[in-house]
Every structure is written in structure tokens, then in C-alpha cells.
Structure 1
């Protein structure tokens, strides 16, 4: 069950509540007793997605090839440069 943050507009009291998604939000402030003045606050998530993207085979065996579902957009800029070194080389060949 998720934890939701609430605030009272009447007294400014903030509190957290562990409740199901289908449960109704509290209508009464536990500090001042004001009815209809409690609202849900928007809070930051407690996890972070890091890395080069999502892979379709994240839960398969190590022998299977992993393919990045985000495509080239998820690769760092220096990885893109390493992938095509021919394009970065200047043409300095001269013929006698």
C-alpha cells in the first residue's frame, strides 16, 4: 500500500497516511478537526530509474542478447561517438 501526504488548508498541519488506492482521502483534519479542508499533496517518488534504458530481456538468462528498448536516445553521447569512429576521422590522405 502506498503512503500519501496530506495537508490541511485551515491550520497548515501536514500528515502522512498509509491507505489503499481505492480508499477515500481523509475529510477531517486530525489536528484541528476542520472538515473538507484536507487535500493530497504531490510528493517526489522514493525510487530513481538510472542507466541506459529499459531492456526487453532484463529478466532472461545472461546468455540471451539484451536489446535496448529506448534505442540510441538512451546511449551516452561518448558511446555514440565510439560507435562511428570513421565519421570522426578527417580525410588527410593525399595522392602524389
Structure 2
């Protein structure tokens, strides 16, 4: 049988050990106020076995792509600089 956690409008939180087919309580066990709401919590997930690796879906060290960052000049800018250098040496 699962343990359900409920919260009343006054902020009291309490647990109820009940069957899944049982009706939820209508009032708070502490103060008697109602209606109460069931509190839901996320479930922990553990990947076990040989099919998972510790770095899967994690932050990996990616190679820095300079063309996306804009730090490095593009190919056309490099070509223009080379042309300027050739003109200076020819003169």
C-alpha cells in the first residue's frame, strides 16, 4: 500500500497510508480544514546496466567552432589581407 502526502489550505502537510482504491481524505488530520490536495513529488530515475555511460546526455567538452563564435575573421577577410600583403611587396 502506498503512502500519500496531502496538504491543507493552512499549510499543514501530512501522510496517509492507504490503498489505491480508497477515497482520499476530505479534511486535514491536524486542523480539520478542507479541502485538501495531494502533493506530488518527482520520481528518482537511476540508469543501471551496461547500456548507459556516465557521460551520456551530460555536458561534454565540445570543440570550439570559431566560425559560429565570430572571434576569428572569416575566409574572405583572410583572403583580402593576403592580397594587400602581396601588393605591398610588389611595389
Tell me the TM-score normalized by structure 2.
0.49
Q: TM-score, normalised by structure 1?
A: 0.47
In terms of fraction of residues, the more helix-rich structure is: 2
